[in-house]
Amino acid sequence: MGIDIPSMQFLCCARSIGVDFSETMTVGRQTVVGTPDAVASVLSAIKIPREQASAISNGQFAEPLFTLLGARQVSSVDASDYEQATHVHDFNQPIPATLVNRFSVVHDGGTIEHVFNVPQAFKNCMEMVRVGGHFIQVNVANNCMGHGFWQFCPELIYRIFSRENGFQIKAVLLHELNTGVSGASRGRWYKVDDPAADHNQVALINRRTTYICTIAQRVAEAKIFSRFPQQSNYVEAWKQAREPRSQSPNKRREMIRGMIPRPVRNLTRWGRVTIRKARNPFNRPYYHRIAADDVVRGRID
């Protein structure tokens, strides 16, 4: 996928909230996608001089970009050596011990979605991060069928990067792409709540390619995927089903409604919003609009 302007905005966000890029590992050797002027406009917002930022050109490998973000060493891993990655390894398989607990940040700029064994790919990324370091990710969420094997949703990300697996989510953002000819991005950013907190499926039916972007910190060493994640709304349904049958009919009705995607409910007699409002797919209580400038500067709370 490469590091385009929205991805660069997100990298700046990560640095602004304290992600340490000193020892960076990129999953797939990344290239920059964007004109020098567009790149400089983004990086100048976090006080990187324009003359340095504008030296990063469209199509070049991204090591100089990560250096500007604070990297002293930038490594890369790929299944092939065709782009001269530092390490050649198939992410369908466990990583070698030499890469475990090594890096202050592991960046996936759109590679995991191309790996068939996606649980192993996530586990590999998580194991490469040392305690206190971060995993950051820009992958596709919607309207990119055929680009890779997978598209990802917030439910998956929140369940993977859990305390049980030694991680804590700092942010899950969605970005709806709307990029001009110059490479400048006019797309909108949204912060996404944990579906477990909303007791609902966080659904999205929209028309534009949409990125899902994650910042997760490794807070402890843990056996990753000692138990596989379960979808939170079903866990809640199972929990409710074990409660005494004396629970109120309204409570049972709400439990059943929670298992039906909200866009579907909007078209039924149970829907609480009008068809007119439903035309905006982000008009949901679990999506929170954030200005691009605030994303770049890390103002995402």
For 203, the token pair is 């659904």
List per-residue pLDDT tens for the chain, 301 residues long: 689 999 999 999 999 999 999 999 999 999 999 999 999 999 999 999 999 998 998 899 999 999 999 999 999 999 999 999 999 999 999 999 999 999 999 999 999 999 999 999 999 999 999 999 999 999 999 999 999 999 999 999 999 999 999 999 999 999 999 865 555 567 999 999 999 997 788 999 999 999 999 999 999 999 999 999 999 988 888 888 887 655 555 555 565 566 666 665 555 544 444 444 557 899 999 999 999 999 999 999 8
Distance between CA atoms of residues 72 and 244, nearest Å: 59
Amino acid residing at 175: H
**H/E run at residue 73:** strand 73-78
Dihedral over alpha carbons 98, 102, 106, 110 (to 10 degrees): -10
What torsion, rounded to 10 degrees, do the Cα atoms 28, 217, 215, 293 define? Answer: -120
Is the whole model's pTM more than 0.85, yes or no? yes
CATH number 1.10.1660 is the correct assignment for the domain at 5-229+287-296: no
| Dist. CA 115–CA 79, nearest whole Å | 10
Q: Are 103 and 132 in contact (CB under 8 A)?
A: no
- The single-letter code of the amino acid at 290 is I
Report the distance separating Cα 295 and Cα 7, nearest Å.
11
CATH 3.40.50 boundaries in the chain: 5-229+287-296
d(CA 81, CA 102): 21
- Tell me the CB-side half-sphere exposure of residue 32, using CA atoms within 13 A: 24
